[in-house]
Amino acid sequence: MREPSWSQKDVPCLNSASRRATQDPAVLWSRVGLESGQVVVDVGAGSGYFSFPAASRVGEAGRVYAVDVSADLVQFVRERAERARIRNVQAVLSTPERIPLEDAVADVTLLANVFHGIPPATVLEAVRVLRPGGRLVNVDWKKEPSPEGPDVRHRLSKGEAEAALSAYGLSRLDSFDLGPYHYVLVFERPLPSRRPRRLVSAE
């Protein structure tokens, strides 16, 4: 992750029209199968590049929490939602250690262009807010040179990301490319295992 922190000065870059050609949110949400009525937690949402298209898909019955540690970007998302009268996007200010949402609220948790730079405490929070049976979607830069994006040395390969996320108790469901520079890994938070009931003798 780049330091110092992200702010509204980054919005032109985060919302650039050219991004759609290489990281199309509509393609992502369609492939993930995001449905009307679902709840999404977008961790490290930035300008809401993936959050607002998610909100269109989940509709009025659904909700998108756009979570970020940058108060400036949280304010940007809040004002953008208010201006456009979008009521199902809620901007949420977090810290690296705490996402102020209840356990298991999300059907889908998104980590887009952030997993290579966030601490384990944030990943634990991203998993905590996901319901058992829900999906964690990780979109990140391939670990190879590209005309844009973070230094290759700071990126995680798909294999590294898969191993790291599996260590949080997640099971991989799917994997695909989003445009030429990104991979997507889709994980499930497993349902609690049912222990077999002890057989009691009828005697």
Ligand X SMILES: C[S@@+](CC[C@H](N)C(=O)[O-])C[C@H]1O[C@@H](n2cnc3c(N)ncnc32)[C@H](O)[C@@H]1O
Which residues of the shown chain bind ligand X in the complex (CB under 6 A)?
1, 5-6, 14, 43-46, 49-50, 67-70, 73, 94, 96, 112-114, 118, 122
Q: How far is the CB of 169 from ligand X (least distance, A)?
A: 20
Q: How far is the CB of 121 from ligand X (least distance, A)?
A: 8
Shorter beta-carbon distance to ligand X: residue 44 or 62: 44
Q: How far is the CB of 127 from ligand X (least distance, A)?
A: 13
User: Environment class of residue 63 by beta-carbon count within 10 Å: exposed (0-12), middle (13-18) or buried (19+)?
Assistant: buried
Q: How far is the CB of 82 from ligand X (least distance, A)?
A: 19
CA distances from 153 to 28, 117, 156 (A): 25, 12, 8
Shorter beta-carbon distance to ligand X: residue 6 or 187: 6
Amino acid of residue 18: S
Shorter beta-carbon distance to ligand X: residue 42 or 190: 42
Shorter beta-carbon distance to ligand X: residue 67 or 91: 67
CA distances from 57 to 7, 18, 34, 85, 129 (A): 27, 22, 7, 16, 20
177: β partners: 183
Cα–Cα dist 54/111, whole Å: 13
Shorter beta-carbon distance to ligand X: residue 177 or 197: 177
Shorter beta-carbon distance to ligand X: residue 25 or 134: 25
Q: How far is the CB of 7 from ligand X (least distance, A)?
A: 8
Cα–Cα dist 121/125, whole Å: 6
- DSSP assignment of 88-139: SEEEEE-BTTB--S-TT-EEEEEEES-TTTS-HHHHHHHHHTEEEEEEEEEE
Tell me which residue has its CB nearest to ligand X.
46
By 3-state DSSP, what share of the chain in percent is helix, strand and coil, each rounded to 5? 30, 25, 45
Q: How far is the CB of 119 from ligand X (least distance, A)?
A: 6
